């Protein structure tokens, strides 16, 4: 099994890339399994937050499988990069919040995968980078688009043009990752964050993600209309009534996603 998924806390699921001997590289077989796991997540109403990481402690993912690519024709390479991009986009479109737990190096497509997540947590002992120009290609699975939107044009151009990986501290200062932890604390902190998210109203969280993602890139007027529509979706829910009642009774709300 090249990709595994399991529930690690209530409503929190951990998706793991399982090719530690190949630095969790994105082979065609792994991409197929990853697409299947994304489908499972989308069809499972119990999922409220997803952690994504790599097995072992050396690599989150080193990106495309260059050994596999060696024997490909130009057309096959293009098809493979398209498949990586489509898979990463499917991760971006998961309705519930996703958190990349960058426990080891994330290069090329590996970093592109992390960029498609809602949040990124990183080990202080690792590095990340879009290293494609050193191989005479460019990031082709969203890197040239998602990285500038996240950290700004200048910093993104610097990373892509130089192909140099950045250390954890610099990645945090750039705003590339939102959280930074010592390796031994990283997964526990990731679970704590995911649990905090999962305890909130699941319909509200989905609508918040939808409003943020759809509104991003539009003008303010259009964004406010998107927000209003998402807000309306939360009003008739049982969860909203439960939230008000729990507040009145001074207890924790028990949300059902209804």
Length of the chain (residues): 258
112 is catalytic: yes
How many Cα atoms occupy the beta-carbon half-sphere of 185 within 13 Å? 7
Choosing from 112, 167, 227, 242, the catalytic residue is 112
Cα angle 242, 49, 101; round to 5:
150
C-alpha pair distances (Å), 179 with each of 13, 46, 53, 186? 19, 26, 15, 9
Give the C-alpha separation, 51 to 185, whole Å. 15
Choosing from 43, 68, 132, 167, the catalytic residue is 132
Instruction: Measure the N-to-C terminal CA separation of the chain; round to a whole number of Å.
Output: 34
State the catalytic residues.
Answer: 112, 132
């Amino acid at each position: 099994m090249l990709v595994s998924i399991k529930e690690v806390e209530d409503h929190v699921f951990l998706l793991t890339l399982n090719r530690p001997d190949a630095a969790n590289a994105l082979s065609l077989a792994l991409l197929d399994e990853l697409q299947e796991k994304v489908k499972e997540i989308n069809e499972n109403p119990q999922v409220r937050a997803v952690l994504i990481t790599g097995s072992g402690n050396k690599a989150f993912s080193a990106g495309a499988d260059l050994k596999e690519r060696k024997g490909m024709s130009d057309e096959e390479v293009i098809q493979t990069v398209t498949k990586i991009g489509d898979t990463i986009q499917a991760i971006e479109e998961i309705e519930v919040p996703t958190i990349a737990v960058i426990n080891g190096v994330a290069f090329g497509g590996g970093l592109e995968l992390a960029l498609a997540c809602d949040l990124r947590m990183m080990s202080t002992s690792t590095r990340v980078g879009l290293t494609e120009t050193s191989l005479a290609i460019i990031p082709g699975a969203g890197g040239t688009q998602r990285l500038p939107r996240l950290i700004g044009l200048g910093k993104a151009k610097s990373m892509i043009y130089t192909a140099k990986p950045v250390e954890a501290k610099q990645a945090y200062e750039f705003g590339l990752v939102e959280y930074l932890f010592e390796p031994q604390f990283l997964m526990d902190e990731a679970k704590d964050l995911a649990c905090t998210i999962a305890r909130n109203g699941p319909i509200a969280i989905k609508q918040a993600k939808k409003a943020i993602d759809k509104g991003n890139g539009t003008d303010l007027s259009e964004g406010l209309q998107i927000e209003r529509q998402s807000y309306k979706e939360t009003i008739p829910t049982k969860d909203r009534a439960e939230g008000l009642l729990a507040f009145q009774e001074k207890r924790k709300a028990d949300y059902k996603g209804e």
